[in-house]
């Protein structure tokens, strides 16, 4: 664990003067990789002050802010080991760098217009450099065009957030139909004109990490397509002088989203951006400072319980989590979605920035580059490699290759066990815990799709004490993105062949016949215990889910959360069976919910009762388990209402409840849980074998 101790030491005439000396070239790397920090107030003022040496200079930074992880190539962190080494400091910058009284004393990325990186702007009609490049980029945005801008950790796509035609065109070109865009505001006052902003949310927005914060939107002047039918806006403030100069120059909020095609990694250099974003951007604003490793923006949500990190990236990652005990060196490779890489070394776990989904070739390639970069950067040779149970994940295939290449054992960790242990590690829990792992899907020991699990966990062992009643997903993968199919699976389990009468209006008659035949014959109908898919099904039954495919992950569940009435409501019945594991039967819930819907009950009431039902289930499971420490993990706990209700009921019944805060509740934290499980398995002589491994 890294600690800072501050103390004053009296000086005397015999003291030698204070010096910072060059790092030893052969010094062993410590497990510290400094994160990039947002522009500080002093640099922001300097950039805005006419006559200042760095007036309107987009790469202004000091010891309190600026690039770190995105420019450093190796440790120790010195300028010669960064991508700034090719920029020779001018006399004025050198004087600041060597002056202990200056705020740029040993600021490794120090730069100015005379010696630092330079902007260049390219479009079909214009090529410009320096200040003119900035002016041309501002003009481009004012015209409603799409600008691809090379930011701190990769390219971003910017467009005027007040112009509906411009935002719609960006969606069309990027292939992002409805998933909300983040919005860049010039100041907190500008944010308040469009969103509600609490003092805690303002502290997060203006902190050195400066994440995107999910804020409740007001009736505002933003284009409807920024966040279609969503009650929240992902708001951010300028994180670099370049962002500040652009948004202030345009004079309006800007959409600021990752520079990629939908579901692909960000572009980090102009060559890749020119090739992959040629049909997306009207102009390219780039610079000549190399980005050593890409990093996206962090995303957080502030609620009454505090801040929850939903995507851990710029400003927060790479970060080190101290463990309660020494560990072997473990490289853990996460899962398939929202992937990260973790390295357990010297009693800490270092977590990479958000890598993203691995469905594309480029995504899988970035994941491998990230893993190899962590090993090279920290000069680490793993004693063991950890991955998910699922054999078809790109992360699993990479783990298998690396384990063979490095001749080390491979430990396959069950998905929900990793979820629980990641949250346990964040809170320093070492004993037995009950983990409620509720998410979309993860492969279970029995080869089925789990996702509504209650696991009693201790180190590298766990026992499944309860789960949701399984139900079928007609069409398999297709049902993952089509809530009405999940609803049909529930209805078929309750009503059998009479399901067609209860599913009227969801499908055409031919679709219904085909899907019911599949369910009857059990053809392409995998079963799942997933709470995430239960959310989808209920959203479809209530009528708040899209009629066909969802347009982005979690859309139906978000709609159900947003629809729910505030206040206490009576839960539906979801009885818990005897036996080990116990099974939570959602059959009575489905019957009662349908009765409510048919009687004309408001969707908000039904949605609220469903959330209350899950909270009551959590309390029933926890009480029966006899374990007082309860961990809430998995993507379903990104739902603020669900988390609040579950935590409230469990706390009231005498349980100690732990939720993800610094690590996300979703799959972004899985690599940490994998690292912890694998290290304990290795310490007691475990290896690649996992009981119930489907292979």
Q: What is the DSSP string of 398-416?
A: HHHHHHHHHT--EEEE-HH
Cα 2 to Cα 328: distance, rounded to the nearest angstrom? 19
The string of pLDDT tens digits covering residues 1-37 is 455 667 777 666 555 555 666 655 555 445 567 899 9
What mean pLDDT comes out for the span 167-177? 95
When mean pLDDT is compared across 36-40, 260-264, 512-516, 582-586, the lowest value belongs to 260-264
pLDDT at 304: 81
pLDDT at residue 693 greater than cutoff 50: no
Check if the beta carbon of residue 57 is closer than 8 Å to that of residue 112: yes
The string of pLDDT tens digits covering residues 671-686 is 999 999 999 887 666 5
pLDDT at residue 694 greater than cutoff 50: no
The string of pLDDT tens digits covering residues 608-658 is 999 999 999 999 999 999 999 999 999 999 999 999 999 999 999 999 999
**Sequence-ordered list of residues with C-beta below 8 angstroms from that of 461, at least 6 positions apart, any chain:** none
pLDDT at 502: 85
Give the E-state strand segments of 182-292 in sequence order. Answer: 182-184, 212-216, 232-236, 254-258, 283-287
Cα 445 to Cα 443: distance, rounded to the nearest angstrom? 7
The H or E element spanning position 466 is strand 461-468
pLDDT at 4: 62
Enter the tokens of residue 691.
């009981």
pLDDT at 486: 96
pLDDT at residue 402 greater than cutoff 50: yes
Cα 55 to Cα 237: distance, rounded to the nearest angstrom? 20
DSSP conformation class of 481: T
Q: What integer best gives the mean pLDDT of the chain? A: 93
More confident residue, 468 or 75: 468
Cα 191 to Cα 669: distance, rounded to the nearest angstrom? 30
φ, ψ of residue 428 in degrees (nearest 5): 70, 30
The H or E element spanning position 396 is helix 394-406
Enter the tokens of residue 668.
């972004």
CA distances (Å), 581 to each of 414, 437, 446, 464, in order?
Answer: 17, 14, 13, 6
More confident residue, 327 or 240: 240
pLDDT at 424: 96
Q: Which residues pair with 140 in a beta bridge?
A: none
Burial of residue 325 (CB within 10 Å: 0-12, 13-18, 19+) is exposed
Cα 237 to Cα 254: distance, rounded to the nearest angstrom? 10
The string of pLDDT tens digits covering residues 282-316 is 999 999 999 999 999 999 999 887 899 999 999 99
- Provide the whole-model pTM: 0.92
The string of pLDDT tens digits covering residues 479-526 is 999 999 999 999 999 999 888 888 888 988 899 999 999 999 999 999
Q: Please report, rounded to a whole number, the percentage of residues in the chain having pLDDT higher than 70.
A: 94
pLDDT at 1: 42
Per-residue b or e along 350-383, where b marks 16 or more CB atoms closer than 10 Å to that residue's CB = bbbbbbbbbebebbbebbbebbeebbebbebebb
Cα 196 to Cα 13: distance, rounded to the nearest angstrom? 57
What mean pLDDT comes out for the span 581-603? 97
When pLDDT is cut at 50, 70 and 90, the band that residue 133 belongs to is very high
φ, ψ of residue 244 in degrees (nearest 5): -60, -45
Domains, the chain, with CATH or none: 119-287 (3.90.870.30)
pLDDT at 237: 98
Phi-psi bin for 442: left (phi > 0), alpha (psi -120 to 50), beta?
A: beta
**DSSP three-state, residue 435:** strand
Cα 662 to Cα 670: distance, rounded to the nearest angstrom? 13
What mean pLDDT comes out for the span 34-53? 96
pLDDT at 539: 97
When pLDDT is cut at 50, 70 and 90, the band that residue 688 belongs to is very low
What mean pLDDT comes out for the span 35-63? 97
Enter the tokens of residue 281.
């951007």
C-alpha dihedral (432, 436, 442, 446), degrees to nearest 10? 60
pLDDT at 343: 96
Q: Which residues pair with 320 in a beta bridge?
A: 350
pLDDT at residue 579 greater than cutoff 50: yes
pLDDT at 151: 96
Residue among 59, 367, 112, 68 nearest 209 (CA): 68
pLDDT at residue 670 greater than cutoff 80: yes
φ, ψ of residue 70 in degrees (nearest 5): -75, -10
Enter the tokens of residue 651.
């706390």
pLDDT at residue 220 greater than cutoff 50: yes
pLDDT at 548: 86
Residue 621 CA neighbour count, 13 Å, CB half: 33
What mean pLDDT comes out for the span 393-405? 98
The string of pLDDT tens digits covering residues 323-345 is 877 789 999 999 999 999 999 99
């Amino acid at each position: 664990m890294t600690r800072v101790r501050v103390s004053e030491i009296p000086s005397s005439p015999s003291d030698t003067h204070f010096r910072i000396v060059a790092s030893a070239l052969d010094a062993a790397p410590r497990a510290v990789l400094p994160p990039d920090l947002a522009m500080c107030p002093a640099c922001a003022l300097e950039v805005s002050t006419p006559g200042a040496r760095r007036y309107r200079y987009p790469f202004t930074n000091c010891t309190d802010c600026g690039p770190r992880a995105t420019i450093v190539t190796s440790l120790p962190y010195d300028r010669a080991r960064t991508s700034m080494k090719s920029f020779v400091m001018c006399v004025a910058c050198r004087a600041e760098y060597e002056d202990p009284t200056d705020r740029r004393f040993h600021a490794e990325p120090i730069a100015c217009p005379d010696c630092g990186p330079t902007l260049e702007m390219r479009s079909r009609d214009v090529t410009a450099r320096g200040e003119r490049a900035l002016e041309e980029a501002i003009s481009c945005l004012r015209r409603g065009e799409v600008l691809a801008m090379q930011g701190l950790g990769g390219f971003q796509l910017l467009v005027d957030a007040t112009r509906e035609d411009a935002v719609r065109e960006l969606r069309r070109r990027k292939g992002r139909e409805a998933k909300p865009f983040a919005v860049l505001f010039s100041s907190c006052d500008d944010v308040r004109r469009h969103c509600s902003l609490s003092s805690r949310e303002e502290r997060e927005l203006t902190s050195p990490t400066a994440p995107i914060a999910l804020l409740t939107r007001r009736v505002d002047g933003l284009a409807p397509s920024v966040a279609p039918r969503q009650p929240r806006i992902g708001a951010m403030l300028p994180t670099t002088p370049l962002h500040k100069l652009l948004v202030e120059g345009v004079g309006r909020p800007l959409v600021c989203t990752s520079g990629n095609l939908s579901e692909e990694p960000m572009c980090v250099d102009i060559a890749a951006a020119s090739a992959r974003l040629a049909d997306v951007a009207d102009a390219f604003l780039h610079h000549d400072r190399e980005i050593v490793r890409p990093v996206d923006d962090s995303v957080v949500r502030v609620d009454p319980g505090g801040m929850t990190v939903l995507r851990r990236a710029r400003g927060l990652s790479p970060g080190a989590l101290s463990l309660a005990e020494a560990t072997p060196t473990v490289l853990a490779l996460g899962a398939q979605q929202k992937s990260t890489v973790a390295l357990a070394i010297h009693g800490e776990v270092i977590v990479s920035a958000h890598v993203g989904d691995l469905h594309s070739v480029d995504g899988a390639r970035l994941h491998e580059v990230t893993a190899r970069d962590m090993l090279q950067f920290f000069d680490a040779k793993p004693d063991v490699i950890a991955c998910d149970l699922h054999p078809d994940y790109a992360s699993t295939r990479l783990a298998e290759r690396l384990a063979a290449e490095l001749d080390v054992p491979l430990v396959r960790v069950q998905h929900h066990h990793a979820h629980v242990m990641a949250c346990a590690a964040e809170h320093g829990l070492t004993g037995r815990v009950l983990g409620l792992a509720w998410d979309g899907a993860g492969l279970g020991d029995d080869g089925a799709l789990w996702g509504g699990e209650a696991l009693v966990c201790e180190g590298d062992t766990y026992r499944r004490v309860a789960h949701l009643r399984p139900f079928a997903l007609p069409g398999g993968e297709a049902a993952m993105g089509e809530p009405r199919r999940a609803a049909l699976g529930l209805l078929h389990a309750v009503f059998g062949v009479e399901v067609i009468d209860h599913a009227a209006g969801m499908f055409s008659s031919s679709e219904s016949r085909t899907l019911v035949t599949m369910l009857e014959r059990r053809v392409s109908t995998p079963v799942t215990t997933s709470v995430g898919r239960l959310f989808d099904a209920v959203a479809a039954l209530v009528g708040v889910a899209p009629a066909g495919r969802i347009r982005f992950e979690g859309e139906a569940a978000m709609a159900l959360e947003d629809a729910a009435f505030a206040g206490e409501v009576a839960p539906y019945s979801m009885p818990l069976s005897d036996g080990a594991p116990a099974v939570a039967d959602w059959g009575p819930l489905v019957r009662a919910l349908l009765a409510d819907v048919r009687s004309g009950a408001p969707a908000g009431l039904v949605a609220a009762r469903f959330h209350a039902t899950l909270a009551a289930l959590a309390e029933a499971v926890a009480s029966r388990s006899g374990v007082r420490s309860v961990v809430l993990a998995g993507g379903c706990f990104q739902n603020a209402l669900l988390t609040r209700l579950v935590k409230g009921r469990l706390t009231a019944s005498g349980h100690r409840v732990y939720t993800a805060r610094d690590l996300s509740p979703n799959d972004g934290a899985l690599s940490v849980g994998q690292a912890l499980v694998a290290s304990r398995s290795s310490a007691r002589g475990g290896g690649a074998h996992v009981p119930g491994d489907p292979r």
